[in-house]
Amino acid sequence: MISFKGKKGLVVGIANQKSIAYAVAKRLHECGAEMAFTYGPDPKERFKGNVQEVADEMGVKVVLPLDVRDDAMNQAVFAELDRQWGGLDFLVHSVAFADRGDLEKPFSSTGREGWRMALEISAYSLLPMVQQAAPLFKKNGGGSVVSMSFIGSVLAVPNYNVMGPAKAALESANRYLARELGPDNIRCNVVSAGALRTLSSSGIKSFGDMLKVAGDHSALGRTVTQDEVATATTFLLSDWASGITGQTIYVDSGFNIMAN
Ligand SMILES: NC(=O)c1ccc[n+]([C@@H]2O[C@H](COP(=O)([O-])OP(=O)(O)OC[C@H]3O[C@@H](n4cnc5c(N)ncnc54)[C@H](O)[C@@H]3O)[C@@H](O)[C@H]2O)c1
């Protein structure tokens, strides 16, 4: 078992117990990591309570609000981690958003605001987060960042629409961050997960069809699980992956290698 004893990290993106970030946190907890969580904005105000429940389950003491569009909130999160821990070892970015309307209409009719918002929340947000995390990583002699992507970054997936360019931007940004921060022993990787039923994916039109294709057309002949994505993410966050940075690693039952 990979050990995270003595390691401290921030997990961003738990909405509920179906979230990929929840599965990642669960695995990290099993490996002995100490964590802080954030909860995102929610018009229905479910996330704060959900995340607190997960924090109680895992003995996590630091739970903070974070809207990734808000620089002051972002800075406040990392200032609090510095105050609590005086350093940081890992960061999980598991955040995405697109207007539901933009996932339903023809791609070419994506509005400027929908494009801006999807790219800002799903891709740009990685930059200010890593910028704030970097000084804390340096205090611990290095760090590891993992963010989440989808094959829609490189293939035109039905109804994924504006999220495709957003994920392409995220994967590219990851490479530039890896290059910039490599000299400080800070690694940045992306996990490209196969289709999974979560709150976010429920906003994609005909997601059930996408899930069926993902299973039927993958090398393993099945979809992946949240736990499989979490285990690969935990590996990348750990010292066992010390030679890996700037990568997009597919955890999708081999869907991406299939010609049809
Ligand atoms: N579910 C899938 O099929 C799938 C496949 C590949 C990649 N992913 C990616 O995995 C990541 C996690 O998604 P998920 O499927 O677990 O869904 P999810 O809905 O559980 O998680 C998405 C998270 O994004 C957060 N978020 C949205 N806007 C935010 C904002 N402005 N500020 C802060 N947080 C905000 C939400 O609070 C939520 O916690 C996303 O990047 C998603 O694109 C999902």
C-alpha torsion 173→175→181→184, nearest 10: 150
The mean pLDDT of 129-136, rounded to a whole number, is 98
Atom of ligand 1 at shortest range from CA of 193: 6
Q: Is position 167 annotated as part of the catalytic site?
A: yes
Cβ(38)–Cβ(66) below 8 Å = yes
The mean pLDDT of 27-31, rounded to a whole number, is 98
121 lines ligand 1 (CB under 6 A): yes
- Alpha-carbon distance of 27 to 23, in angstroms, equals 6
What count of other Cβ atoms lies within 10 Å of the Cβ of residue 37? 24
The mean pLDDT of 230-234, rounded to a whole number, is 98
Which pLDDT score is estimated for 163?
A: 98
* DSSP per residue, 33-75: -EEEEEE---TT--HHHHHHHHHHHHT--EEEE--TT-HHHHH
Residue type, 74: N
246 lines ligand 1 (CB under 6 A): no
The mean pLDDT of 38-51, rounded to a whole number, is 95
Share of the chain above pLDDT 90, in %: 97
Task: List, for residues 154-211, the tens digit of each pLDDT value.
Answer: 999 999 999 999 999 999 999 999 999 999 999 999 999 999 999 999 988 899 999 9
* Ligand 1 binding pocket mutation candidate from 14, 198, 228, 251 (most atoms within 8 A of CB): 198
**How much is the pTM?**
0.98
Report the topology of domain 8-251. Answer: Rossmann fold (3.40.50)
* 72-95: burial string, b at 16+ Cβ within 10 Å, e else: eebeebbeebeeebebbbbbbbbb
234 lines ligand 1 (CB under 6 A): no
Annotated catalytic residue: which of 44, 167, 205, 250? 167
Q: pLDDT at residue 49 above 80?
A: yes
C-alpha torsion 92→98→100→102, nearest 10: -150
200 lines ligand 1 (CB under 6 A): yes
Closest alpha carbon to 192 in 227, 148, 135, 153: 148
pLDDT bin (cut points 50, 70, 90) of residue 150 is very high
Residue with CA closest to ligand 1 atom 37: 40
Which pLDDT score is estimated for 205?
A: 87
The mean pLDDT of 36-41, rounded to a whole number, is 98
| Distance between Cα 37 and ligand 1 center (Å) | 14
Atom of ligand 1 at shortest range from CA of 149: 7
The mean pLDDT of 25-48, rounded to a whole number, is 96
What count of other Cβ atoms lies within 10 Å of the Cβ of residue 184? 14
Atom of ligand 1 at shortest range from CA of 68: 32
Share the mean pLDDT of the chain.
97
* Ligand 1 binding pocket mutation candidate from 20, 27, 66, 205 (most atoms within 8 A of CB): 20
pLDDT bin (cut points 50, 70, 90) of residue 43 is confident
Closest alpha carbon to 247 in 193, 195, 191, 194: 191
The mean pLDDT of 27-43, rounded to a whole number, is 97
Q: pLDDT at residue 260 above 80?
A: no
37 lines ligand 1 (CB under 6 A): no
Q: What are the sequence ranges of the domains in the chain?
A: 8-251
Which pLDDT score is estimated for 1?
A: 86
Which pLDDT score is estimated for 254?
A: 98
Atom of ligand 1 at shortest range from CA of 204: 3
Cβ(68)–Cβ(97) below 8 Å = no
